[in-house]
Amino acid sequence: MNGGPFGFHNAPVTKAFVVVCALFTVFVGIQGRSSTLGLSYQDIFRKFHLWRLLSSVFAFSSTPEMMFGLYLLYYFRVFERQIGSNKYSVFIVFSIIVSLLYEGLLLFLLKDPSKVLVSGPYGLIFSSFVPFFFDIPVSTRFGIFGIHFSDKTFIYLAGFQLLLSSWKRSILPCLGGILAGILYRMNLFRIRRTKFPECVASFFSRLQWPFAGGSSPTASSGNIIGNMPSYAGRPVEGNYPSTPLASAMEPPEDSIATLVSMGFDRHAARQALVRARNDINVATNILLEAQGH
């Protein structure tokens, strides 16, 4: 289960976020401040350290946490491809704000100067687990020693590792992220209809990062997370080559499986691949445009 086509194609915002998190973590590590990362009551309500707020959003406090965290952020790029970069940017901002408000309220209620919450984009990561649980289908099942697993199991295991990385310091921020994901799914303040201007995604797609290769054309704004309709029986529209289904080459099974893993209906995925002459990138755009109608 890889979340769709390899790399950051149609996911420029995710690419920017991953790169910024990696740079922040490395920079803080070089400065020798990794051990001092994390939010506390004094940081928010007494001293108001701005760098603490920024580091709590972008910088992981250890290398293992960074590895698992960046892997999950990279995988969850599937949601940017599904709803479009402009709506996904709103999802990121909403998740970060809600999780920070939750952490601030928690620290205010505890009023314990020794209580420090773990640093890193835990809010966004665990907010993404909500649509992952509800909207990403299982495409592969297997068993090991009589225990049943699916291709989603490895994503849950990576999240479980982050959840327990610093025990209570990490569990509490993770719960804030899950709360943010639930509120977004509930469409609080009609947040799922909100999107940034087109120039936001265009800006990120034009950025050239030093170690994040691959082109990332701007994704079209599609349907919202948690409301992906079935396209079975619906003709795929758009200005694409009209190829008769009977005469078209049968799409490869792995291409269909890739689109299905992104949350699209199998019949619609096959139909889009036929129209796109088995070009998976074009087929993805066809399906995203169909969601927008």
Return the pLDDT at 292.
57
Segments of the chain with pLDDT less than 50: 214-248
Return the pLDDT at 291.
67
The structure tokens listed for 98 are 């809600």
Q: How far is CA 162 from the centre of its chain?
A: 15
Does residue 264 contact residue 285 with C-beta atoms inside 8 Å?
no
Sketch out the chain's domains with CATH numbers: 12-193 (1.20.1540.10), 231-293 (1.10.8.10)
Alpha carbon distance 243, 43 (integer Å): 61
Return the pLDDT at 99.
96
Bridge partners (DSSP) of residue 39 are 117
Please, what is the Cα angle at 238 between 233 and 244, to 5 degrees? 60
Alpha carbon distance 39, 29 (integer Å): 17
Return the pLDDT at 2.
54
Return the pLDDT at 233.
39
Return the pLDDT at 199.
82
Residue the block writes with tokens 């707020």:
53
Supply φ then ψ for residue 282, to 5 degrees: -65, -40
Please, what is the Cα angle at 273 between 269 and 275, to 5 degrees? 120
